[in-house]
Structure 1
């Protein structure tokens, strides 16, 4: 009987040790989860900041494009006016030709600038799409990590109830007279 009691005490101490290990593992996993959540949140905030800055950059480029279009329209109007003057003013033909050529050169430069800005806008939109995809991937990764931690917690809870059941069996074996009296 004494040997059984000693064996039971040894089993109880082993179970207590395992319970302590599982609790420390659970705490470590919770800490890991919290750390992972904080990192993911920081990454999401950073990516959102980048997206916002890129959107502001696109708005600035759109404003510049609008200004360039207005300038192009104005230059086209100027070119038409100069063509009309040219027909009326033959004396200043040479000066008007030079001015007209300058306006055409500016218009071509503006067209080049316009195309460059459109390319930059396309690249910025592609970057935004890439960042949004990265954000979605990080959110999915975060959800996956949460699911893993919840599964671990459930497994630990199941282990806890199984250990409680074993503890009851051990208690019944340790005190068989009490269970007989209850019956």
Structure 2
């Protein structure tokens, strides 16, 4: 029994030793667990903070994206409006080109008409000058004829044929206005 008691004491000592080891190990594990929980809490807090900052960035980027999409839509609308205006301007330009061509054609026609009228005017001036010259010649001839008639009348008057009917008629023909005045 002593032997059994010694064995039991040895076993108890072993159990006590093992118990101390297990308690030390348990304490160590508790401490590791606390450190791990603390580390995990810190890591979780850090992850939560990171998630919040990432979510804030996502929200900011989403807002920026919405703003940029609004700007893009506005720019698309402006581009459509500008394209329509450009189309109208291009059509107006085409209309102006055709009107300009018509005006050029009218101008050319007017130039031709101007040249024709200028030629006609030159011809008319030349004809007027010719008529004036002819008038001067006719007036000179008329004056010359008048002088001849007056000379003939004067010669007849000198010859004493005042009573001659022919002479009187010649005088009437030469000076019809004088005879009309005398008659009145």
Same fold (TM over 0.5): no
Query: Which entry has the higher C-alpha Rg, 1 or 2?
Result: 2
Structure 1 length normalisation: TM-score? 0.43
TM-score, normalised on structure 2? Answer: 0.43
